[in-house]
Amino acid sequence: MISDGHDYRKHARVHLYTGDGEGKTTTALGLALRALGHNHRVAVVQFLKSNKKGGEFKIMRKLAPRYEIYQFGREGTAHLSRPENIDYVLADEGVKFTEKILKRTNNKPRLLVLDEINLAVALGLIKANRVINLINKATPDMTVILTGRRAPKKIVKCADLITNMRMIKHPYRGMRGAVDGAEY
């Protein structure tokens, strides 16, 4: 069980990618690609996202059944200053779905990516303790990746590896649009 003095051999490895810079999801997907290269199963659960045009979603058809991705976000973007009821409902559905993934006896992923879960917690859509419970349900041979800006302190304490992405320069600031295959 995760605690301040946790024994790394008794729980899943936990990677946390946070910060205001670009690359949190991209880094997690890079590890997914590496895991797939070793013939491991990968499950990605995206919170606050609903983009079926993103490369990480489109590739599922080619990489299934070892790669699966599920999205629990509404069309468009959630209002970060005042989430609506649908945002709470979808975040709850995402957590419940993740619990089902962790209960599997067959086809359990070796790598579980909980994309944007940090931001979902920071917005109050999910309680930090629910995320910690998910981590505690993961088996010791699993790696759990938590992405999203504004990672709460309770979750930071659970992580074995933390990377804080910092934006130094970004093409969006110059009003350059997102490029498929690079930004989505």
pTM of the model as a whole: 0.90
Residue 97 falls inside a structural domain: yes
Residue 7: pLDDT over 60: no
| CB contact at 8 A, 182 and 36 | no
Phi, psi at 181, each rounded to 5°: 85, -15
| CB contact at 8 A, 114 and 145 | yes
Average pLDDT, the chain: 90
Report which secondary-structure segment, H or E, holds 35: helix 24-37
| CB contact at 8 A, 93 and 53 | no
Question: 23: domain CATH number?
Answer: 3.40.50.300
Per-residue model confidence (pLDDT) at position 168 = 86
Per-residue model confidence (pLDDT) at position 184 = 62
Query: Which has the higher per-residue pLDDT, 79 or 21?
Result: 21
Overall average pLDDT of the 95-116 stretch? 97
Residues 6+ apart with CB under 8 A from 95: 126, 130, 131, 134
Highest mean pLDDT among 50-54, 116-120, 165-169: 116-120
Residue 172 falls inside a structural domain: no
Per-residue model confidence (pLDDT) at position 16 = 98
Number of domains the chain is built from: 1
How far is it, in rounded angstroms, from Cα 5 to Cα 132?
A: 15
Residue 137 falls inside a structural domain: yes
pLDDT in tens, 119-152: 999 999 999 999 999 999 999 999 999 999 999 9
Spatial CA neighbour of 112 closest among 14, 23, 2, 26: 14
How far is it, in rounded angstroms, from Cα 96 to Cα 92?
A: 6
Place of tokens 């041979």: 141
Report which secondary-structure segment, H or E, holds 16: strand 13-18
3-state secondary structure of 145: strand
How far is it, in rounded angstroms, from Cα 67 to Cα 126?
A: 25
Place of tokens 């059944």: 65
Residue 178 falls inside a structural domain: no
Overall average pLDDT of the 3-25 stretch? 82
Query: In terms of residue numbers, what domain contains 127?
Result: 13-165
Residue 183 falls inside a structural domain: no
Residue 71: pLDDT over 90: yes
User: What are the start-end ranges of the H helices in 38-182?
Assistant: 55-58, 60-63, 85-103, 117-122, 128-137, 153-156
Confidence of residue 4 (pLDDT cuts 50, 70, 90): very low
Overall average pLDDT of the 105-115 stretch? 96
Residue 6: pLDDT over 80: no
Residue 163: pLDDT over 50: yes
Residue 182 falls inside a structural domain: no
Per-residue model confidence (pLDDT) at position 148 = 97
| CB contact at 8 A, 116 and 58 | no
| CB contact at 8 A, 73 and 46 | yes
Per-residue model confidence (pLDDT) at position 169 = 84
Window from 4-8, 56-60, 65-69 with minimum mean pLDDT: 4-8
